Structure 1
Amino acid sequence: MFWVLHLGGWLAYMGLGYLTALAYGKPGGYAMIHLATGVTGAAATLGLRYLLRACRGRPPVLQLAIMVLPILASSALMERAGRHIKLEFCPGCTPENTLMVFSYALSNIYVVLAWVGLYLGITYYRQSQDETRRALAARAMAHQAQLKMLRYQLNPHFLFNTLNAISTLVLDRDNATANRMVQSLSSFLRHSLDSDPMQRVTLRQEMDALDLYLDIEKVRFAERLRVEIVVDEECWRALMPSLLLQPLVENAIKYAVAKQVEGGLLRIEAHREGDRLSLRVVDDGPGCLALEGETLPAGTGVGLRNTRERLKVLYGDAGNLCVRNLAGGLEVRLHLPFETSTSARNDG
């Protein structure tokens, strides 16, 4: 698309200049002026393209400051390229003073500005289209993630174990604990069903929802499940997709705590790294022997794959998930842009 528009536009510019010259009775050789000017302009604006791409994402005022001199230089190069040929047809067109030189140098600035404006317009339009498609894909992916959560996160096995634990508590006449477990299960199910998959929540809200799930598991595993939570104070207000950590925590409990007689430790961390929010879910279990680097083994890690895909759709390259084996355990690390409700409104 770029090359078609770029080359087609400059060919049209040269052709229009040549036709205009003929209309004013200029000789056929006058076309060489427009050829030299057009070829120089095509090369100069090609350089501007890479400079604009390097400036992408910077504040508009900074972009303008960076582009002023290159735009002026491009106009001056175009005028310089055609001047020697033009003097053969118009000997009196030699600039007589510095002001005329400067005026001649700016004679093509409108062409360069038109090219820059068209390039930025098309670029921003395509970015807008990409963001729209990404938002639609994110909405579809989030709804799919919620459905998958109800299918594999709140699976019959989990419900069976929970209800069985409640039944045992009732038989043991530990009605208070059984009642608390029923209430926790009810609250968690209600939260899972009522939460809007497109609604971002603060980390504090996410941890409150996660506590509902952990309350159930703590009753099941008692002292076998140990939980540590380390969160930087400024991270509590950071925004994130709802129910993002729950499948990671469930995986850790399923593969690290449940399979060890002595249970295990689950550690959840949140730190700010510049403009990114870093989340870690770490366990002290046996790890994943089938894991090669950060590549998830085929047929396993459904929750991990779902979380990674959700981050990709929601944040593109700005969000990622990494999995690695530790000396004793498994670490899942998530990175996503650090945003708060205020910054999100400002960006909008």
Structure 2
Amino acid sequence: MEALLRQVLRGTAVRLCAIVWLFGYVLVDITAAAQGRSAPGLMLLANLPLMALGIAQSIALGLLLDRLEGVRAPVRWGAVALAGLIAAMVQTVADHLVLAAVALTVLPDWQGWALGIDASRKFTILVLYLWTYYLALALTWASRSADSAKMNAARAAAFAAAAARAEAAALRLQLNPHFLFNTLNAIASLVVRDRQEQAEEMIGRLADFLRASLVSDPAGLVPLDQEVATARAYLTIEEARFGTRLRIDCAIDPAAGQVDVPNFILQPLVENAIKHGAAPVRGPVTISIAARVEDRVAVLSVANTASARPPRGGGRAGVDGERSGIGLANTRSRLAMHYGASAWMECGPTADGYRVELGVPIDPHRLDAAA
């Protein structure tokens, strides 16, 4: 990353130095033409070697500034200022030699002013070159600071995205140990009771569910139909555990089936429905999953017909609302990461159980396509 940063900065320095020196020698050409010393463009052509020298020395000053990056500021800038003065002196001497050579070989009309050694004129040229070098150096440093800020911002954005993905993965996987514990206990129970075929079938279902969990993007979006299918796979495993007293009911509006929702957003809700709705009771239990579209919002719900110990809290709550158990808290957090305040969550007891509803905003283009 550091090598890439330096490459970018040096490329920027080359462009800046070329612009500064080209602009400077264009002004020299315009001035010489206005004073009648040369035809327009001729002075610029003669100064091309000097322009190349100025660009090269300016880039060298920028590299020197990079090399002294860890040195104290007074020493660093003092050394660079001295190097700039030396570069300006070299440029001034080269200016006299190049123009004198041109006057002696190609343009004898220039000999009247190009061969003379006027101390005052040479000092003025030195000051102008010194100003040009310091200007190129200042622009290079400013560009370096801006590019470094952009690179730091890009790094921060990448780290933030990675952190968000890690947080989403942690929230999604937080409940899995509980599920695995119950599933493995159920498989062990089937093996003890010599129900080998059912145990093998449950192991296969568990492998399919874990495969879907591991290959999916924890921070991504998936169609609701896919999310419901994953939840059904989980509930199918639980059906082997609870037997005939567990009934699964799904009612998904076709218009909502293709709506994108956060991956595994239903998982903690169906786990809660099993934990609080099926495990504490002995009678039949129905776990219902439903989805519908209302005013460009996909309303998802998970409900159970009996809940001996419903999670605390109820009524409509924003995604920053009161914590109501780990499953609901994780769901609120994931909704907040994906949608901010645009999503909502409603949970509370019903006449014969408990229900959780989520409101997920729909992309208007996706809604029109589904229609």
- Give the equivalent residue in structure 2 for 1:216: 237
* Residue type of the alignment partner of 2:214: L
Structure 1, unpaired ranges of 5+: 1-132
The alpha-carbon distance between structure 1 residues 263 and 315, as it changes in their structure 2 partners (threshold 3 A), is same
- Give the equivalent residue in structure 2 for 1:200: 221
* Residue type of the alignment partner of 2:336: K
Q: Distance in 2 between matches of 1:261 and 1:336?
A: 34
The alpha-carbon distance between structure 1 residues 339 and 249, as it changes in their structure 2 partners (threshold 3 A), is same
- Give the equivalent residue in structure 1 for 2:38: none
Q: Distance in 2 between matches of 1:224 and 1:301?
A: 25
Whether 2:298 is the aligned partner of 1:312: answer no
- Give the equivalent residue in structure 2 for 1:150: 173
The alpha-carbon distance between structure 1 residues 325 and 137, as it changes in their structure 2 partners (threshold 3 A), is farther
The alpha-carbon distance between structure 1 residues 307 and 170, as it changes in their structure 2 partners (threshold 3 A), is same
Superposition pairs for residues 11-22 of structure 1, below 5 Å?
A: none
SS at match of 2:282: coil
- Give the equivalent residue in structure 2 for 1:228: 249
TM-score, scaled relative to structure 1: 0.54
The alpha-carbon distance between structure 1 residues 336 and 139, as it changes in their structure 2 partners (threshold 3 A), is farther
The Cα shift of 1:288 comes to 2.9
The alpha-carbon distance between structure 1 residues 154 and 336, as it changes in their structure 2 partners (threshold 3 A), is same
Q: Distance in 2 between matches of 1:236 and 1:252?
A: 22
- Give the equivalent residue in structure 1 for 2:114: none
Q: Distance in 2 between matches of 1:203 and 1:292?
A: 25
Whether 2:325 is the aligned partner of 1:301: answer yes
The Cα shift of 1:171 comes to 3.4
Whether 2:186 is the aligned partner of 1:165: answer yes
Structure 2, unpaired ranges of 5+: 1-155
The answer as to whether partners of 1:251 and 1:303 remain within 8 angstroms in 2 is yes
Q: Distance in 1 between matches of 2:200 and 2:244?
A: 19
SS at match of 2:360: strand
- Give the equivalent residue in structure 2 for 1:248: 269
- Higher Cα Rg, which structure: 2
- Give the equivalent residue in structure 1 for 2:296: 275
Task: Let me know the Cα RMSD of the aligned residues.
Answer: 3.0
The alpha-carbon distance between structure 1 residues 182 and 213, as it changes in their structure 2 partners (threshold 3 A), is same
The answer as to whether partners of 1:287 and 1:326 remain within 8 angstroms in 2 is no
Whether 2:360 is the aligned partner of 1:336: answer yes
Whether 2:288 is the aligned partner of 1:264: answer no
Q: Deviation string for 1:249-273 (max 9, x for gaps)? A: 0001101110001142111110000
- Give the equivalent residue in structure 2 for 1:140: 163
The alpha-carbon distance between structure 1 residues 134 and 257, as it changes in their structure 2 partners (threshold 3 A), is farther
The Cα shift of 1:299 comes to 7.1
Q: Distance in 1 between matches of 2:353 and 2:194?
A: 37
The alpha-carbon distance between structure 1 residues 248 and 134, as it changes in their structure 2 partners (threshold 3 A), is farther
The Cα shift of 1:292 comes to 5.3
Q: Distance in 1 between matches of 2:334 and 2:264?
A: 11
Q: Pick which of 325-334 and 272-281 moved more.
A: 325-334
The alpha-carbon distance between structure 1 residues 234 and 146, as it changes in their structure 2 partners (threshold 3 A), is same
SS at match of 2:228: helix
Q: How many residues align?
A: 211
TM-score, scaled relative to structure 2: 0.51
The Cα shift of 1:282 comes to 1.1
The alpha-carbon distance between structure 1 residues 258 and 235, as it changes in their structure 2 partners (threshold 3 A), is same
Q: Distance in 1 between matches of 2:244 and 2:275?
A: 16
Q: Distance in 2 between matches of 1:314 and 1:134?
A: 16
Q: Deviation string for 1:37-62 (max 9, x for gaps)? A: xxxxxxxxxxxxxxxxxxxxxxxxxx
The Cα shift of 1:242 comes to 0.6
Whether 2:192 is the aligned partner of 1:175: answer no
Query: % of aligned pairs identical?
Result: 36
Q: Pick which of 169-178 and 252-261 moved more.
A: 169-178
> Of 206, 209, 215, which aligns to 1:188?
209
The alpha-carbon distance between structure 1 residues 138 and 211, as it changes in their structure 2 partners (threshold 3 A), is farther
SS at match of 2:280: coil
The Cα shift of 1:172 comes to 3.3
* Residue type of the alignment partner of 1:306: N
The Cα shift of 1:227 comes to 1.2
The Cα shift of 1:199 comes to 2.1
Q: Distance in 1 between matches of 2:161 and 2:335?
A: 9
